[in-house]
Amino acid sequence: MEIHPLAAELNKQIKDSSPNTFACLSDIGKQIFYPTGILSQAAEAKNKTTRFNATIGVAMENREPMFLEATRSYFNHLKPSEIFTYAPPDGLPQLREAWKEKIVRNNPTLSEKKISLPVVTSALTHGLNSAAEMLVGPDDVVIIPDKFWGNYRLIFSIRRGARLSHFPMFDSENGFNVAAMADLMKKEAKSNGKLVIVLNTPNNPTGYTPTVAESEAILSAIREQANQGTRIVTLTDDAYFGLFYEDSVKESLFTGLCDLHENVLAVKLDAATKENFAWGFRTGFMTFGTVTNAPDKLYPALETKVKGLLRSSISSSNHPSQHIIARLLKDPDYQKGIDQKFEILKSRALTLKKVLSDERYREEWTFYPFNSGYFMCLKLHRVNAEQLRIYLLEQYQVGTISINDTDLRIAFSSVEEEDIEEMILLIHQAVKELS
């Protein structure tokens, strides 16, 4: 297929600034561009018209977007122009700047590093799918631990045709199995010049985040593989970022990956959904980082390509949500509220760990280590996880998630602390009845 001149121009900018990044682009990634069509012309008109602006499909009345009074009554503090119009395809500029400031504030290691301006996506799942469109093709292999969010299979395998390759997440000492990850990278690199590595911390479904030592070992293993000439794309799924309760690294792995090696392109996916406890707002972010001598050329070109993906799929993300989040990040009580919710979730996690440590449960299950996030997993010894899930639902009205034959996921995020012990007792009773 012939490359459009605008795509070719972006490709040249990327290739000149980072040959590895250009080589990591999928066919779609190389072909995508942001068109100089209606939206570009409308943006130009918005900045220059002083009389009449007849460019874009928004009905206007009294120089404001037209709206129903009934709808307006549900918004207390936003102006009509912040509610009813379209947001820019790549997101509100003030929100993108504010989120980047937040990323650096929460990851101090980034303070002296060059990363892109986050692009707004329609929450994290959409960000992952957009990254996959841009960077993953049918001939690629995606390396992930064997404990992973099921949506990865739909995003990378079903939609993009890539092959998923797993390594056991935990070693015999119940830590992150860096050695198995490194071995799998070496094995796959023998027949693949490019690897895509997905790092989800805190992990869904296990609720585990690597320790500082494990994180350094992960970075070292990726650097070593990059030194062998392998092109590597890392996708850090930071959906539950910040919910680090004990014995784990407190920054995103992206902070070490974004300038790890010229052969490593790091992409950070995060969102206001879990971080700001605003799940229905559907507002996420995609940020790039790599070793380059020309970040001022590379990152805008990558952002423009993502902008083209967004324009050709959802057009733009939710406008009111973006304005609310942008204001929230500047609110003087913002961090206080985050800290309060953090303490509630941490207390639930520690209470659950204490309850599960009771000797009476060891015959029926063990549990994978968890130190963060929303979830934990039981490893069942005598019953099938799916049979137990159904039995719990039908007999005890307790909802859980079966991951495979042996693993049962519990979302302690959605269970009040005072109810945790009763829930575990019911699960234990159900296991005994089934076995």
Query: Is residue 59 included in any domain, yes or no?
Result: no
Query: Is residue 56 included in any domain, yes or no?
Result: no
User: What's the CA dihedral at 115, 117, 119, 125 to 10 degrees?
Assistant: 30
Is 342 found in the same domain as 300? no
Query: Is residue 108 included in any domain, yes or no?
Result: yes
Kindly write down the DSSP assignment for every residue of 340-384, as one continuous string. HHHHHHHHHHHHHHHHHT-GGGTTTEEE----BSSEEEEEESSS-
- Give the end-to-end CA distance of the chain in Å, rounded to a whole number: 59
Distances (CA, A) of 200 to 18, 24, 148: 25, 20, 8
**pTM, entire model:** 0.92
Is 402 found in the same domain as 371? yes
Is 339 found in the same domain as 326? no
Is 268 found in the same domain as 157? yes
Query: Is residue 73 included in any domain, yes or no?
Result: no
Per-residue confidence (pLDDT) for residue 346, from 0 to 100: 95
Name the strand (E) or helix (H) holding 410: strand 407-411
Give the end of a domain, one of 309, 330, 351.
330
Task: Identify the domain containing residue 183 by its residue range.
Answer: 5-34+89-330
Partners of 61 in beta bridges: 64
Is 361 found in the same domain as 317? no
Question: Based on C-alpha coordinates, what's the Rg of the chain?
Answer: 23
Is 176 found in the same domain as 232? yes
CB atoms inside a 10 Å sphere around CB 417: 15
Which CATH number do you get for residue 22? 3.40.640.10
**Would you give per-residue pLDDT tens digits along the chain (435 residues)?**
689 999 999 999 999 999 999 999 999 999 999 887 666 667 666 777 666 566 666 666 777 777 777 777 778 889 999 999 999 999 999 999 999 999 999 999 999 999 999 999 999 999 999 999 999 999 999 999 999 999 999 999 999 999 999 999 999 878 999 999 999 999 999 999 999 999 999 999 999 999 999 999 999 999 999 999 999 999 999 999 999 999 999 999 999 999 999 999 999 999 999 999 999 889 999 999 999 999 999 999 999 999 999 999 999 999 999 999 999 999 999 999 999 999 999 999 999 999 999 999 999 999 999 999 999 999 999 999 999 999 999 999 999 999 999 999 999 999 999 999 999 999 999 999 998
Which CATH number do you get for residue 348? 3.90.1150.10
What amino acid is encoded at 145 in this protein?
P
Is 155 found in the same domain as 25? yes
Query: Is residue 300 included in any domain, yes or no?
Result: yes
Give the end of a domain, one of 273, 297, 330.
330
Is 324 found in the same domain as 356? no
Query: Is residue 42 included in any domain, yes or no?
Result: no
Is 196 found in the same domain as 256? yes
Query: Is residue 79 included in any domain, yes or no?
Result: no
Is 266 found in the same domain as 178? yes
- C-beta of residue 116 within 8 angstroms of C-beta of residue 97: no
Q: DSSP assignment, residue 407?
A: E
- C-beta of residue 228 within 8 angstroms of C-beta of residue 392: no
**What sign for the dihedral angle of Cα 151, 152, 155, 159?**
negative
Directed axis angle between helix 295-311 and helix 123-135, to 10°?
110
Cis preceding linkage at 202, omega within 30: yes
Q: DSSP assignment, residue 281?
A: G
Structural domains of the chain, count: 2
What amino acid is encoded at 67 in this protein?
F
Per-residue confidence (pLDDT) for residue 343, from 0 to 100: 94
- C-beta of residue 215 within 8 angstroms of C-beta of residue 253: yes
Is 306 found in the same domain as 217? yes
Is 260 found in the same domain as 355? no
Query: Is residue 63 included in any domain, yes or no?
Result: no
Give the end of a domain, one of 330, 353, 379.
330
